[in-house]
Structure 1
């Protein structure tokens, strides 16, 4: 295998993209190039490649993934996005995910359940569901998390209304219409909105 290109990343703190046979493979630092004696237009054996990939590239990618997950729970899709930004190839990301999933460092159902638990008293079910979908969580995990964590929307809609007005009796018909429209856009059902706006719409 021929190392066809070494591309220094601008403002990449010494990171260098390594291309083999014209294909981007991974990122190394200058000290790595020196240690492994890597130069453009030189041969690299499969044994050397595997050693670099497993003991340097994959090891660092695993450490990066753990650092990403250390202070905040993430969905699998969010972790994939972060690893892509770090410069990981699809193959490398898959190898990292295999390791991460093996030890249950990420769990989309767990993420969805926690997300619902902390937002169910202030957001509608539809809004939460949409936000979880945007985070790449599978429909099955979202539905199971709702079944386990979500009750009725009464508390959420009362909280949402209270944020807009403490005393509904002083509102005009037009003001109540605006609140109702806002709540409806956030995913609350109209019959529930009317119930807590005292049927005065």
Structure 2
């Protein structure tokens, strides 16, 4: 039977070269060296050598995974994808992930809960968008649902109302009806439920600035009136009125403005 004749430390810390019967055979990590209690004079057969090589492959993959995980929390899917990109065999990846799970270094439930807490504290997203993000990261459905329990109705309302206030400032130069619609749609796009978005907008208690709305209507109306200048008067009036209504202005206000521009029909 073959015998280990020398164990030589590499220049790279934590790595060793194994010599069998006076010839270089294979490298191992320090963990493998310790786990298998390798020593000079130890007998080694082909089966043991294959086990050592497989264990070393896992050790190398494990260290690559640790490097990747040191940057930030990762899901199991992200770690698997990263190791696959390094051309590590699937069976080695499976074994590496088993070890990472045992040491709680990858934990999708923990990742999901941490992400939800972060979004509650610093984000502007509702449950639906958070759910989509976690699914894209490969987190299974059950951990996602558990994590979203942390995002209570009170927390959602607090986050959503803050978002609604920012949107109100963004759209303050819009027709009042359009402003409300865009705020509500912005909340829905960010993942809040439609009924919650409606409540958040209502909580703002927005009221139109009469003078500002009149100025906005006049400016946009003048542009449209000029746009349709080649039309017959009745058609010009109809098209201008229709366009202003689509922009969110009230019909009474539109009629009043048109009266000041072209008079009564």
Q: Which residue of 2 aligns with 1:52?
A: 53
- Whether the 8 Å contact between 1:168 and 1:197 is mirrored in structure 2 is no
Q: Which residue of 2 aligns with 1:67?
A: 67
Say which of 154, 162, 165 aligns to 2:165: 162
Distance 1:156 1:69 in 2: 30
How is 1:1-201 mapped onto 2 (pairs within 5 angstroms)? 35-36=24-25, 45-55=46-56, 57-120=57-120, 122-147=124-149, 149-152=150-153, 153-166=156-169, 171-172=174-175, 173-198=177-202
Task: Pick closer, same or farther for the CA change 1:158–1:171 going to 2, 3 Å.
Answer: farther
Give the drift of 1:79: 0.7
Task: Pick closer, same or farther for the CA change 1:102–1:170 going to 2, 3 Å.
Answer: same
Distance 2:146 2:185 in 1: 29
Tell me which moved more, 99-108 or 117-126: 117-126
Distance 1:63 1:169 in 2: 53
- Whether the 8 Å contact between 1:127 and 1:186 is mirrored in structure 2 is yes
When Rg is computed on C-alpha atoms for both structures, the one with the higher figure is 2
Matched residue count: 162
Query: Which ranges of structure 2 fall in alignment gaps of 5 or more residues?
Result: 1-16, 27-45, 207-247, 249-265
Over the residues paired in the alignment, what is the CA RMSD in angstroms? 2.8
> What TM-score results when the alignment is normalised by the length of structure 2?
0.54
Give the drift of 1:47: 4.0
DSSP-derived class of the 1:165 partner: helix
> What TM-score results when the alignment is normalised by the length of structure 1?
0.70
Query: Which ranges of structure 1 fall in alignment gaps of 5 or more residues?
Result: 1-30, 38-44
- Whether the 8 Å contact between 1:157 and 1:188 is mirrored in structure 2 is yes
DSSP-derived class of the 2:72 partner: coil
Distance 1:142 1:167 in 2: 32
Distance 1:175 1:137 in 2: 36
Structure number with the bigger relative contact order (C-alpha 8 A, sep ≥ 6) is 1
Distance 1:108 1:180 in 2: 32
Distance 1:167 1:138 in 2: 37
DSSP-derived class of the 2:131 partner: helix
